[in-house]
Structure 1
Amino acid sequence: MLGNQRFLDNTRRNVDFAAARPTLALGQHPYAAVLTCADSRVVPELAFDQAPGDLFVPRVAGNFAGEDEIASLEYAVASLNTRLIVVLGHSRCGAVDAALAVARDNADLPGFLPKLIDNIVPAANKALLSGADDVLAEAVNENIRMTVSNLITRSVVIGAAHREGKLAVLGAHYDLASGEVTPVS
């Protein structure tokens, strides 16, 4: 969160990427993993003012935890000793908006999009039933909460590390307009 404050204040650390490359080539030791959306406007290394090698970042539209994402995060926890997972959703997420269209209007999506969006529809349904004024914002946050829960309950590796106090799994929301990251509980 201190890194996000530096990002917001435009006082980012001056990192010499070229000097770090030889060490990074020998191995990675990220202290945190960030499961985030594939949206090109969401860049965790910038939003948290981190250098290459600091974050392990699996990305998928809608930042949900499917089998591939869970396996990637299990690798970070079991093999790289990552001790923090952040599920980072963002404002105005197109994948979550598509899930709302499917849930609300039975929208028909082309190609492989239905397979992707099916992972987010439960959050969309819950948001639609919530009575929230901003259903998209509520669906984004519900998707973050459900993904945090799924990581802990579906993964033996992540769940065990979390229960043993070796891993924190948190949700956060990135505001596209301001760049601010806020916790989602």
Structure 2
Amino acid sequence: MDDEDRRCPSSVVRLRVNGTPYRLRLDNRTTLLDTLREHLDLTGAKKGCDHGQCGACTVLVDGRRSNSCLLLAVALDGASVTTVEGLADGERLHPVQEAFLHRDAFQCGYCTPGQLCSAVGVLAEAAAGMPSAVTPAGQRAVLDGAEIRERMSGNLCRCGAYPHIVRAVQDAAGAAR
């Protein structure tokens, strides 16, 4: 073992990414975002702020939306990860992707992968009955504008496409019913 190995311990990490199993030897400090981008060539999730504040790196980990820049890959051994590249079913777009296209819910597109993954997570959370800060106590969430804005608030869009994003998520919620 040389000095570099002593300074940078590594571990074998097993991940299922977009349905494909991977076995990777990674430095213990490697984030999920860097694993996806640098080791698996999945560049949909973006490195925006690298501090969990912008949501550009949002992916689904075991079905829950997560900021991949904040997660160490070694802590996710055995997890299932879905990135924007894994949302479509072959050539058939996910209903959220279709709604974003129909509503023109993007401008520059930098935040779009994170917005899409977050929107898929929002639909799953609402379907599971998970409340948000604006869900009335004791009631099931209704994905109206206020509810969607609250749930998507962790995903920033520098271009300001928020009205289109909210309508796209509403459309996708209606399609999911």
- TM-score w.r.t. length of structure 2: 0.28
The one of the two structures with greater contact order (alpha-carbon pairs below 8 A, sep at least 6) is: 1
